Amino acid sequence: MVKYVLTGADGNLGGFAAEFVADNKKPEDEIIFTSYTLSAIPAEKVAGWESKGVKVVAASYDDVDSLKKIFEGAEAIAFISTWLIGEGRRQQARNVIQAAKESNVKRICYTSFVGAGSDKPNDQVPFLPRDHHYVESQIYASGLTYSLQRNWLYQDN
C-alpha cells in the first residue's frame, strides 16, 4: 500500500486536485486529504471522497506535530500553497517541510508560482512570486526529492 497526502483540499486548486485524485485512486493506495478545518469542505464532498476510500482530516500548516502524524509513512505529499503572503506563508511552508523531513516523506510536490525559479536573491524577485521563490529555496535545501508546479494567476478567482 502506498500512502499519499494532499494538503489544502478545501481550496479551489486543492479541491480540483482532490477530485482528480479521488477519481483515479487505486484500491491499494492510501489517500489522505487535509483541510485547515473540515467545516471548510461541504459535507457531501467529504462523503463522496470517503466513499471512494479517501480519508479526510483536519491539519494546520501552523502545527508541525499534527502534520507529522498525517505525513508519517507517506510516499509523497502534495503541498498546496497557502493564501497567506509574507512571513505567515513562509513559516507555514517551513513547518510543512520540517514535518515532511521528520516523517521521512520521500517526495514533496509544491504548487509554486511562475517566476519563482529566478536565480536572483529573494529580495530582488518580483512581489508575486517572491514567497514561492523563498519556499522553493527551502525545499531545495531540505534534501527532499521534489516536484514543483509553477502556476499562473487563475482566471476563475
- Segments making up each domain of the chain, as ranges: 3-151
pTM of the model: 0.92
We find that the CATH architecture of domain 3-151 is: 3-Layer(aba) Sandwich (3.40)
Report the chain's C-alpha Rg in angstroms.
15
Helices (H), the chain: 12-24, 43-51, 64-71, 87-102, 127-142
Strand, coil or helix: 80: coil
Per-residue pLDDT of the chain (157 residues; tens, 9 = 90+): 899 999 999 999 999 999 999 999 999 999 999 999 999 999 999 999 999 999 999 999 999 999 999 999 999 999 998 889 999 999 999 999 999 999 999 999 999 988 888 888 888 888 888 999 999 999 999 999 999 999 887 655 4
Per-residue pLDDT, 31 = 99
| Location of C-alpha cell 507529522 | 68
pLDDT at 118: 87
